[in-house]
Structure 1
Amino acid sequence: MDNFAAPWYSLDWFSLSSFKAYTWDNPSFLYALVAVPFLFLFRWLWRYRFNQKLPVAVTQKDLRVSPLTLIRLLPEFFLMLALALIVVALARPQKSNEKVEQWTEGIDIMIGLDISQSMKIEDFSPDRLEAAKGVARDFISGRVQDRIGIVVFSGDAFSLAPLTTDYDLLKSYLNEISFEMIENRGTAIGSALAVVTNRMSESESKSKVCILLSDGDNNGGNIDPITAAELAAAYGIKIYTIVVGKEGQVPYGKDFFGRPMMIDNTVDETTMRRIAKIGGGEFFRATDNKALSQVFARIDQFEKAEIKETRFKDTTDYYFIYLQWAIGFFLLWLLMKSTFLSNVLQD
């Protein structure tokens, strides 16, 4: 029989298996159970010592001890049980359906995503930006308890999403990212780092990380990328930089007949390498979707601050069961206290 499905008046609530299954919200109250019998023993001794006694002369043959005389103690016994059960109720017995132990991470991560026109190049499938959005979604899905934010940049930079653990919201923001979000053309890497630093400057996390993804050429904004990297490093932000794209002939759009048009593409890694070095992170180069996924997977493994978390799910209280029993025994005490079972001379 499932003890926890029994009615409140069932004796199963007092079985050893039931008490072993409980977790106690206020376990310190259980120590008071030891004091309950001593309290009543003290009460009986007090009454025996100080209550009125009447001298009565009886013969030796009338001094007989009968088990029936012990019935007089029943009211006190019921009162003691009521008090003990109130103490159990105050300890608040509970049962949880599931105990979960897992390793969680508590890192603040800002993703800086380049949405400049060069991210339309189709050396990634379907293009650089969509590939970056896809691996960013997978990266977010793989994190637990981390606060993540998003900064987008081209000729200017702005914070698209603040640091949050609402991963569904972050993914919806990623889906909405487009090349038209910023009018100014260019790639303002320094401005992006400045916005990241501003977002993370008040963070109290022990680990602050920026993942900066771009095609590598800084040609916009009014903040020097190296200066911005030094400022970020001063706030304890570790910077990982990812340069995407192939060099040489790459597809960019289609011609009148639907055939891919090819353009010359160069990649400047110098600035991004220096930024990663200043920020104490690493520089990565990705030339296709698979390589980009591998880069994010490596960063995911690097940045883990593991904390053991124990959680209980679906907690149910059972204190009211013992409170009902206590009320029942208390009412029995009141009833018996007013009957012949009580010693009226002592009361």
Structure 2
Amino acid sequence: MEPWYSVYWFRSVQWQQYHFAHPLALSLIPGILVLFFLRYYLSRNAQQQLNMSLGQLRYRRIGTDNLIDRWLSLLRYLLPVSVFMGMAMLLVALARPQIVRQQRDEQSEGIDIMLAIDVSESMNEGDLPPNRLAVARRVAQAFVNSRKNDRIGLVIFAGEAFSLCPLTTDYALLKQYLNDLNTRMIRTSGTAIGDALARCINRMRDPVNIQADTAQIEAGQTERSKLIILLSDGDNTAGNLDPVTAAKLARAFSMRLYTIAVGRASSVKAGTVDEGILKTIATIGSGSFYRATDARSLQRIFAQINRLEKAPVQVRVYEDIQDFYRVYLYWGISFLLGALLLKNTIFGNILED
């Protein structure tokens, strides 16, 4: 750092960095000029003068350079300028110039999310162009992009259910899995909603995660929230586990369940879309049921879930405050001491004291 007597402290670049704790003190600086003006106005007719004859001196200096005279004439203002600068610097010090550096630290424990996506043949229907699965894949990727500090996993299902991606914060890897989804990944026909829910539950109650959650609880932190987002055409035709039983298991493990029925009801044969089971398991799982009839409605559904399921964020703001009032206090004292010294020289008018 520069020494206090350096002119560095008067640079405009330095002053632009300052935050003044008491800016009202700066507004008093123009008042000093007002006091000087009042002093001059009130005492201009009462000034004492010592008349001297300078005829011979003027005669001797005729034709000589009057540069010294001009300098002496200007130097008589040195005393009032020193007083003004001293008082101004004291007011600047009173305003407490500071440089404040802020650092924001955002902490969020996040939540655990399992995406269960139907990849059965019925997801190739073109009522959501180009097809239901393509739209679901694209919207799910956008949903992943919108999350922060959350662990997200992926389960796919048709006649069977498979865990494609465990809970992870590697969103690039998860989006790659989503991009590769197609209806040929599972050869077994049908839609096993109950088995898909069971896979999601098992992933989120993994022993490793249980130990981690236990450690968090012991440290005084709350347990991570858990939710399942199941996206299907709603037809439960396969699997070993009843969806209602699976939903009750999810509720027992404090997992919320959101279900989304994809496709227009008019484009599917009567009796094949079982919205009732999706509504039922969503109610049991303390979540919500949605129907997506087009790409925009599916985007709105995921956006609504995104707003509802947010982990609390703790924001800590650290401030590094550096005070520089001492620099200007030293300058103010120096100017005032200089003014006292000038009082005892030819620049001070002893008759006015």
1:1-150 equivalent positions in 2, closer than 5 A: 99-102=103-106, 104=108, 106-150=110-154
Partner of 1:307: 313
TM-score (norm 1): 0.57
Q: Paired residue for 1:293? A: 299
AA partner of residue 146 (structure 2)? G
**Residue pair 1:245, 1:287 contacting (<8 A) in 2 also:** yes
Residue 173 of structure 2 aligns to a residue whose secondary structure is: helix
CA contact (8 A) 1:249 1:265 kept: no
Structure-2 residue corresponding to 1:161: 165
Instruction: Give the superposition deviation at 1:194.
Output: 0.5
- Correspondence for 1:236 among 254, 267, 273: 254
Aligned to 2:231: 213
| d(CA) in 2 for partners of 1:304, 1:164 | 17
Which amino acid in 1 is paired with 2:189? R
CA RMSD in angstroms comes to: 3.0
Q: Distance in 1 between matches of 2:125 and 2:113?
A: 27
Separation in 1, partners of 2:257, 2:274: 18
- Residues 117-148 of structure 1, C-alpha deviation per residue, up to 9 Å, x if partnerless? 00000111211001001111111100110110
Shift in alpha-carbon separation, 1:103–1:127, aligned structure 2, 3 A:
farther
Q: CA deviation at 1:221?
A: 1.0
- 1:129-170 deviation line (CA, Å, top 9, x unaligned): 010011111111001101100100001001111111111111
Q: SS where residue 179 of structure 1 aligns?
A: coil
CA displacement, residues 313-334 of structure 1 (integer Å, 9 cap, x when unaligned): xxxxxxxxxxxxxxxxxxxxxx
> How many percent identity over aligned positions?
48
State the secondary structure of the residue aligned to 2:184.
helix
Counterpart selection for 1:269 from 259, 275, 283: 275
2:241 to 223, 227, 237: 223
> Normalised by the size of structure 2, how large is the TM-score?
0.56
Per-residue deviation at 1:185?
Answer: 0.8
Runs of 5+ unmatched residues, structure 1:
4-9, 18-96, 251-262, 313-347
Q: Report how far residue 207 of structure 1 moved.
A: 0.7
Residue 198 of structure 1 is matched in structure 2 by 202
**Aligned-pair CA distance for 1:249:** 3.6
SS in 1 for 2:149: coil
**1:157–1:195: 8 Å Cα contact kept in structure 2?**
yes
CA shift digits 1:199-250 (9 cap, x unpaired): 0113434310000000001001111111111111111110000001112246
Alignment-mate amino acid for residue 229 of structure 2: I
Q: Does structure 2 conserve the Cα–Cα contact (< 8 Å) formed by 1:109 and 1:211?
A: yes
After TM superposition, the structure 1 = structure 2 runs for residues 309-328 of structure 1, keeping only pairs within 5 Å, are 309-310=315-316
Distance across 1 between alignment mates of 2:242 and 2:133: 24
SS of match in other structure, 2:241: coil
Matched to 1:287, the amino acid is T
Q: Deviations over 1:273-329 (max 9, x none)?
A: 1100110001111100000000000000110121214489xxxxxxxxxxxxxxxxx
Alignment match, 1:171? 175
Answer yes or no: is the 8 Å Cα contact 1:249–1:264 preserved in 2. no
Q: CA deviation at 1:266?
A: 4.5
| CA 1:138–1:105: 2 relative to 1, 3 Å | farther
Q: Which amino acid is the alignment partner of residue 221 of structure 1?
A: G
How far the C-alpha of 1:101 sits from its partner, in A, is 4.2
Q: Counterpart of 1:176 in structure 2: which amino acid?
A: D
8 Å CA contact retained: 1:215, 1:245: yes
CA distance in 2, matches of 1:125, 1:249: 13
CA contact (8 A) 1:207 1:237 kept: yes
Match of 2:217 in 1: none
Identify if the C-alpha distance between structure 1 residues 309 and 158 changes in structure 2 by more than 3 Å, giving closer, same or farther. Answer: farther
How far, CA to CA, are the matches of 1:241 and 1:124 in structure 2?
A: 18
Whole-angstrom CA distance in 2 between matches of 1:273 and 1:161 = 26
- Name stretches of at least 5 consecutive residues in structure 2 with no aligned partner: 15-100, 214-222, 319-353
Q: 1:230 to 1:167 in 2, by over 3 A?
A: same
**2-structure distance, mates of 1:311, 1:188:** 49
More strand by share: 1
Query: Contact 1:246–1:267 (CA<8 Å) still a contact in 2?
Result: no
| Cα pair distance change 1:11/1:100, threshold 3 Å | same
Contact 1:248/1:265 (<8 A) preserved = no
Distance 1:98 1:172 in 2: 38
